Structure formats: C-alpha cells, structure tokens
Structure 1
Amino acid sequence: MTIDEYILTHIDEEGALLSTLNRDANVNLLRPRMLSGHLQGRILKMFCRILRPRRVLEIGTYTGYATLCMAEGMEEDSLIHTLEINDEMEDFIQKYLSVSPHKDKVRLHIGDAMEIIPQLDETFDLVFIDADKRLYSEYYDMIFPKVRPGGLILADNTLWDGKVLEKPHTSDKQTIGILAFNEKIKKDERIEKVILPLRDGLTMIWKK
C-alpha cells in the first residue's frame, strides 16, 4: 500500500455520485487527470465546512467534481458561481449536477471567465481558480476586488508537475503563466499565502 492509498482509506469516502462521475471521466474524457479527485475534493469540502462561505466563485468547472464537493460542505442558502469556457462539457456537468442533492447551491455559467466575472454582482468568501494557467494572473487581478477582507483564494496546479523548477521553453505559455502568477503572489503585500504540496500544488491566499 502506498501513502496515497493509505490516506484515501482513512478519510471520508467520496460517495456514490462522485465515484461514478470520477469513473465516467476516466473512461470518456481526454484529460481525466484534470479532475480534482477524492483527496482534494474532501479538502475543498472541509474548507467550506470551516469557512462557511455564503458566496463561492469557481473558475474552471471541468466535470463539476470540485463544484459538488464544495457544495456538499456549504450551508443551504449559500451559492457557488462556477464558470466553464468549454461548452462541450455542459452535458457532462449537468448529468451529475441535476441529480445532486446540492444542485440548488450551484449556478453554472458557460463562457469566458474574463467576460462573466465583471457581470457578477457578488462579494465572495471563497474563490477556487483552476482554469487556463496562462491567465492565472489576470483572473487574480479581476477577482481580488470582489473577495471580502478575510476571504480565501485557492489556486490549483501552482507546482505544475515540478516544471516551476525549470526554465520554461518560450512556447510553454502555461508554465510561464504559472511562474508569473507565483511571483505575483509572492510579492503581494495585501495577502498572506502558503503553497500546499498537494497533488500538483494548491496555493492558499488569505486577503488581509
């Protein structure tokens, strides 16, 4: 048994719906590794249990796995705005969202986050960024004024398979984007931050 397997057998189960979604993604989608998965999903739920956010913004829905995990940990009158640019994912997302007991906590937006975010008249307690790595810095600048003081921003994939330790090729715009974002966060004095070496790196950013 590996450490990862040991962890998964000693934390809460993901449940039947998420387990089915996970299998479906691994069989039918091109990049199932992008899905948050059991451990990160339980961590996202726990963040919501602890923070009790009323309004959550998720940039990058993909399958809706992380969305449903966060919704599970949120109270009944709370709401997640989740944004997905790939309209081909909508049917997959709705297949599982429509049968979730937490569907009323989720509002799915299909389209470009850079166009949708300015239209959201909300103040967010929690933001989860897991979309186009080339645009992390732009997402951050756009959402920062919409996050309440004391709110939490989570950015996924900030270790990017260890590529952050190497000089990126000029054509590798995603690695360049992650490196630029990490440097931006490092220098931002409006926040406190820590990178968790979880999966592919999860940065926790607390707005002062």
Structure 2
Amino acid sequence: MKMLVAPEIEAYAQAHSMPESDVARALREDTQRTMAHAQMLVGPLEGAFLKMMAQLVGATRVLEIGMFTGYSALCFAEAIPADGRVITCEIDETSAALGRTHFANSPHGKKIEIRLGPALETMRELAGPFDVIFIDADKVNYLNYYRRAFDLLSPTGVILIDNVLWDGEVLMQPPPDEKTAAIQELNRTVASDARVTAVLVTVRDGVLVIRKKGPAS
C-alpha cells in the first residue's frame, strides 16, 4: 500500500493519538510477522480513529465486514461496553484463527463473534440496528455492502468504509481495474445519496464516514 501521507506525519499523528492496547500490539506484530498480506492490517492510527468513532456514537452493536486477523474488531471491542457485541465477517479461516488466539488474551475478546463465510450472505441473515458498520472486505462488492449496511444501520449510527482512496488510484480515468472502478462508483453513489451525509477523511488509505440524515438535516 502506498503511503498517501508522509511517514513522519503518520508517526507524529500516531504518537499523539490514543495508544493501542498491549493485546492489539501483539496481534499487529504477530500479523506482520506471519501473514503474507500484512499490509491489509488496520494500524494503530486508524485503530484509534475507529475506537473514537464507536465511542462518539455510544456504540453497543458493531458489524464489521472483513476481519482479516482481527485488529479492528479488537479495537471496536475495547471501545464498547461490557455487554456490547462486535459481529465480524471473514472468509479466510487462517486469518480468523490468528485473531481468535489474541482475542482469548483480551478481557474484551468475549464481545467478538466471528462469522465465517461470504459477508453478503451473513449480512442478509442479520437483523439491525447496528451503531457502527465498518466495511473493509472485497472491493468489488463495496456498493452491495453499502446498500445492505444502510438498511442495518441505526438512525444515529455511522458506516465507515476503508480504502476509499485506494492508493490514490481513484483519481485515474479510466480506472485501471475492476476494484478501482468499484470504489469510484461507491464514492460517487454515497456523495449523491440524498439519504445520508458523508465525509471522506484522509486517514491511512481513506475512510468514508457516513451517517443517515435526521428529520432536520
């Protein structure tokens, strides 16, 4: 993944944000040491951002689309109350197994429920509302995830969508591949969706923050 923000700025921002927990650090380091695609990991700065968003909306139910090794799921679990729940969807058992190992070392791990299988199928079976829905899975299905997430979102909740700058390739016309085209379409769709308000923030590889419009919006 390209660094869209200068590494020294990223490090400065991380140093002045809430620190990662010891369990989260161990999970991150284990992922970086053992997984072939460790760059997919949500790092400490974005993890802090996700925790803050969950705290701001007073989240008790979180849905995550795309767990990888569970760093972001753990961040959410650390941010919600003891009776809160994080449902996280993952298709790869090896990645999920690494997450389980570290969840067991955290007092917050019991809040996390892993659903293995295609995320769209899992989402069809779920009932809302969810206070936070974090989308970070296969890019070609981003628009499908967004549409289902809107139906599952609580009136005061937020949808967070990762990698919406896609290494800067969202600027390319025509798009170089199917994944880039899908992310461009998602960004256009959300920007023109009259039911929501959104802001695309330049944290890491871009995070789209979306909320439903209220009666006075």
Q: TM-score range by the shorter chain?
A: over 0.9
1:23 Cα deviation (Å)? 1.2
Q: Secondary structure at the match of 2:17?
A: coil
2:198 is aligned, of 193, 204, 208, to 193
2:8 and 2:128 map into 1 onto residues whose CA distance is 43
1:178 is aligned, of 174, 179, 183, to 183
1:144 is aligned, of 136, 150, 153, to 150
CA RMSD of aligned residues (A): 1.3
Structure 1, unmatched stretches of 5+, are none
Structure 1 stretches of 4+ moved >6 Å: none
1:81 Cα deviation (Å)? 0.8
The 8 Å contact of residues 87 and 111 in structure 1, kept in 2 or not, is answered as no
What is the aligned residue count? Answer: 206
Aligned to 2:32: 26
Which shifted more, 142-151 or 53-62? 142-151
> Which amino acid in structure 2 is aligned with residue 54 of structure 1?
T
Q: Secondary structure at the match of 1:163?
A: helix
Per-residue Cα deviation, 1:138-173 (whole angstroms, up to 9, x for no partner): 01111211112222100000000000000223xx11
Listed as ranges, the matches of 1:2-151 within 5 Å are 2-151=8-157
1:55 Cα deviation (Å)? 1.2
Which shifted more, 61-70 or 146-155? 146-155
1:115 and 1:146 map into 2 onto residues whose CA distance is 14
Q: Secondary structure at the match of 1:2?
A: helix
Structure 2, unmatched stretches of 5+, are 1-6
TM-score (norm 1): 0.95
TM-score (norm 2): 0.91
